[in-house]
A and B are shown apart, each in its own frame.
Chain A
Amino acid sequence: MSMSLPRVLQHIHGHMGWLAALALVHPAILLRRHGRRAMLAVGAATFLVTATAVLGAVMYPHYRSQIKPALFVEAPSLGWAFERKEHLATAAVLLAWAGLASHYAAHARGGRYDTRRFARFAHGAYIAAAVSALTAASLGVAVACQRSFV
């Protein structure tokens, strides 16, 4: 059975999306202790969610031409759910980058900064990113069950 390129990308995007969502939960748990330095976990989760988003952006023109019109005809509520998924995925990526930058700032050399506040900021950003990513991944599965690439 041969699979089209968008269908292959969709499968990879779906699996990477769940991995990224779970990877974002890791720093959200790790950073609850504000003194903890976890650059590897934070960087890996941010990289994974960014790579997933880039793959989604590559697929987006295909989705727009092949899936979106039919999806809104068949199940408008799922069509709107996918629109919400896009916003949540964007939020997850931007919050992850904000968390990465603030986590680095909290542990950078030099004592002129309120590092505890930056650590709290990073923790909050990763909690919000994880919740956004998990919700986006769930909505993505719901849409893929209704209609996917041939």
Chain B
Amino acid sequence: VSNATWLESHASITQREDAAYVDRARTQRATWTEARIASSFAIGWAFALFAYACIQLGMSAGWLSADLASDTIPLFFRWGVSLTAGLLTAAISCVADSHRRMPKLATWTLVASGVATALVVIFAP
């Protein structure tokens, strides 16, 4: 086999491998996008509850004042902050390439949220 023939065949193999890699990447992106977005929202909503409970615990302990404006209702203040924090968490989770760890992350976030909410209901209503 001459050098010219060897180089030509080697180049065509490389091109085929590149094309296959691009196809595989496109397919993977198309198939796991919706699961990735949904799992990010699962973490986001669980984190929103965690943020809500932490704000309430902080307010009860006197570490945090919700009287930011004269017409601020503390309940709405807590909702607003926790939903903002939850949506931000969902966005960061979706952008971050940690989707393989998301089921564990979501479970631990839910456990932390449950404990914090129980503390609020029992000790800091």
Interface residues of A (CB under 8 A from B): 57, 60-61, 64, 80, 83-84, 86-88, 90-91, 94-95, 97-99, 101-102, 104-105, 108-114, 117-118, 120-121, 124-125, 128, 132
A97→B73 CA distance, assembly (Å): 24
The answer to whether B75 and A108 touch across the interface, beta carbons within 8 angstroms, is no
A113→B36 CA distance, assembly (Å): 9
The answer to whether B99 and A90 touch across the interface, beta carbons within 8 angstroms, is no
Indicate whether A118 sits within 8 Å of B42 (C-beta atoms), given known contacts A60-B75, A61-B73.
yes
The answer to whether B48 and A113 touch across the interface, beta carbons within 8 angstroms, is no
Determine chain A's interface SS by DSSP, over half rule: helix
A101→B108 CA distance, assembly (Å): 16
* A113: chain B residues within 8 A (beta carbon): 32, 35, 39, 99-100, 102-103
Chain B 9-48 interface 0/1 with A at a Cβ cutoff of 8 Å (1 = within): 0000000000000000000100111110011011011101
* B34: chain A residues within 8 A (beta carbon): 104, 108-110
Count of inter-chain pairs, beta carbons less than 8 A: 114
Interface residues of B (CB under 8 A from A): 28, 31-35, 38-39, 41-42, 44-46, 48-49, 52-53, 56, 73, 75-76, 78-79, 82, 86, 99-100, 102-104, 106-107, 110, 113-114, 117, 120-121, 125
* B38: chain A residues within 8 A (beta carbon): 101-102, 104-105, 108
Closest CB in chain B relative to A110 CB, distance in Å: 4
Apart from A61-B73, A102-B42, 15 more pairs, CB < 8 Å: A57-B76, A60-B75, A64-B73, A86-B75, A87-B52, A87-B53, A94-B48, A97-B41, A101-B39, A105-B39, A109-B34, A110-B28, A110-B31, A112-B35, A114-B103
* B117: chain A residues within 8 A (beta carbon): 87, 91, 132
A109→B32 CA distance, assembly (Å): 7
* A91: chain B residues within 8 A (beta carbon): 49, 52, 113, 117
The answer to whether B107 and A128 touch across the interface, beta carbons within 8 angstroms, is no
Closest residue of chain B to A80 (Cβ to Cβ) is B125
The answer to whether B41 and A101 touch across the interface, beta carbons within 8 angstroms, is yes
* A94: chain B residues within 8 A (beta carbon): 45-46, 48-49, 52, 82, 86, 113
The answer to whether A87 and B120 touch across the interface, beta carbons within 8 angstroms, is yes
A71→B40 CA distance, assembly (Å): 41
Closest residue of chain B to A91 (Cβ to Cβ) is B117
A57→B75 CA distance, assembly (Å): 9
Indicate whether A84 sits within 8 Å of B121 (C-beta atoms), given known contacts A94-B46, A113-B103.
yes
